[in-house]
Amino acid sequence: MADIDAVMLDIIKGHAIGLTSGPTRETLITDLGIDSFSIVEIIYEVEEKLSIEVPFNANENPLGNMKTVGDLIDAVKKLAGKE
């Protein structure tokens, strides 16, 4: 399996519109400038590129209490069993 950190940072970089440089683990999710459509696209890419299933309920905040890109990456690692 590819390095999850690198794959996730690449996926996020492709959708972030609020950044002047590439995202890091410390980047705040609120600074990414992504909308709900981008979140769905990101989930699809994560599932496709990392071969994992991401549970998603459109009626709930998919980011939950995550504050940083690192929090998001760690959640994906947990889903992938790589934590």
Instruction: Quick: pLDDT tens for 12-67.
Output: 999 999 788 899 999 998 899 988 788 889 889 999 999 988 887 766 666 677 89
Backbone angle region of 64, left / alpha / beta, with phi > 0 → left and psi within -120 to 50 → alpha: left
Q: Tell me the residue type at 19.
A: L
Given the candidates 3.55.10.10, 1.10.1200.10, 3.40.120.10, 3.20.20.70, the CATH classification of the domain at 4-80 is 1.10.1200.10
10 Å CB burial of residue 36 (0-12, 13-18, 19+) is exposed
Indicate the pTM of the whole model.
0.83
Structural contact between residues 66 and 30, judged by C-beta atoms closer than 8 angstroms: no
* pLDDT(1) > 60: no
